[in-house]
């Protein structure tokens, strides 16, 4: 079976949306795209599949609401913008999902949620129960209480950690790029597109650059490759695709050739707890 053909049979799907895919250049929400996103997710739910949405955008929405142009730099301002923006974002998600007959549920996570055994188990149980009830969990980092700018580094990493936690079988990262290239296609017109990555080795990991073409988002290609390492090692397939048109979601689910596929190869020696501890160790140095 073609690697993409098996996407049709995936049952637990995580979709990650970056800030730049949700907003206009003004920083305000792109409501047309949001409605398409929700409709796509609801249609997947109508097939009997489980969907978790990892959504950025709270800081961008909050910034726009209080009239800040561009991305705020001070931590306190970011946290205040997140507090305003997260509520506004969820209000819109709740309204749109309800219009299509589905429930949205908010889950805000900090690094402590994942590193603390009790919190991690509680988070797992909450996800399981929400999915059992037919709700669509909408996940974001709890930026309002975070002590770092973005404790997980970005929502690419967060989505991969959630995929590992709840044993998802497909992670779709939608961003401002078509997939993985041999070089940055925004800068090098000769960069070649990579269709499938069966083994994520060190050469590929070093290929990622900690840059993003957007001044709204935070996750560059290196963050996406790190996410791919977590997700595929945990057994999930992952796709990096362009989020310019959210209709790409059902096309990916149908097995059409969009984005770069990273094939899941579960490593039973991989430990989410050990991985998070290694992050903490690096930060403490």
Instruction: Give the pLDDT of residue 19.
Output: 85
Whole-model pTM? 0.90
CA distance 113 to 276: 11
- Roughly what angle, to the nearest 10 degrees, separates helices 31-46 and 75-99? 50
* Residue ranges covered by each domain of the chain: 5-284
**For the CA atoms of the chain, what is the radius of gyration?**
18
Tokens 């749109």, located at residue:
96
Tokens 């070649």, located at residue:
192
SS (H, E, C) 9-36: HCCEEEEEECHHHHECCCCCECHHHHHH
Q: Are 19 and 29 in contact (CB under 8 A)?
A: no
CATH fold, domain 5-284, is Carbamate kinase (3.40.1160)
E runs forming strands in the chain: 12-17, 50-55, 104-109, 136-141, 170-175, 180-181, 193-194, 196-197, 237-242, 260-262
Instruction: Give the pLDDT of residue 205.
Output: 72
Instruction: Give the pLDDT of residue 16.
Output: 96
Per-residue pLDDT of the chain (285 residues; tens, 9 = 90+): 688 999 999 999 999 998 888 988 877 889 999 999 999 999 999 999 999 999 988 888 899 888 887 778 888 888 899 899 999 999 999 999 999 999 999 999 887 788 888 999 999 999 999 999 999 999 998 866 655 544 565 689 899 999 999 999 999 999 888 999 888 777 888 889 999 999 887 777 776 554 444 444 444 788 888 899 999 999 999 999 999 999 999 999 999 999 999 999 888 777 777 777 766 555 555
Angle (nearest 5°) at CA 266 between 119 and 19: 60
> From the CB of residue 106, how many other CB atoms can be counted at a distance below 10 Å?
15
Instruction: Give the pLDDT of residue 212.
Output: 46
């Amino acid at each position: 079976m073609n690697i993409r053909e098996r996407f049709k049979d995936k049952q637990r799907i995580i979709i990650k949306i970056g800030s730049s895919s949700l907003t206009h250049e003004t920083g305000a929400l792109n409501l047309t795209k949001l409605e398409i996103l929700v409709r796509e997710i609801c249609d997947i739910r109508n097939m009997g599949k489980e969907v978790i949405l990892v959504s950025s955008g709270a800081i961008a929405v909050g910034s726009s609401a209080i009239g800040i142009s561009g991305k705020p730099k001070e931590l306190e301002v970011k946290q205040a913008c997140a507090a305003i923006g997260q509520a506004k974002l969820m209000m819109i998600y709740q309204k749109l999902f309800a219009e299509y007959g589905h429930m949205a549920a908010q889950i805000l996570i900090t690094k402590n949620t994942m590193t603390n055994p009790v919190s991690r188990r509680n988070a797992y149980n909450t996800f399981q129960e929400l999915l059992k009830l037919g709700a669509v969990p909408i996940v974001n980092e709890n930026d309002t209480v975070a002590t770092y700018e973005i404790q997980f580094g970005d929502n690419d990493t967060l989505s991969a950690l959630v995929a590992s936690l709840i044993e998802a079988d497909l992670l779709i990262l939608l961003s401002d790029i078509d997939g993985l290239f041999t070089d940055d296609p925004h800068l090098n017109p000769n960069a070649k597109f990579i269709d499938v990555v069966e083994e994520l080795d060190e050469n590929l990991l070093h290929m990622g650059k900690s840059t993003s073409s957007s001044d709204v988002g935070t996750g560059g290609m290196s963050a996406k490759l790190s996410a791919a390492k977590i997700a595929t090692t945990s057994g999930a397939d992952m796709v990096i695709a362009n989020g310019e048109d959210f209709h790409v979601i059902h096309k990916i689910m149908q097995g059409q050739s969009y984005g770069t596929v990273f094939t899941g190869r579960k490593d039973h020696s991989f430990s989410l707890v050990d991985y998070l501890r290694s992050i903490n160790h690096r930060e403490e140095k």
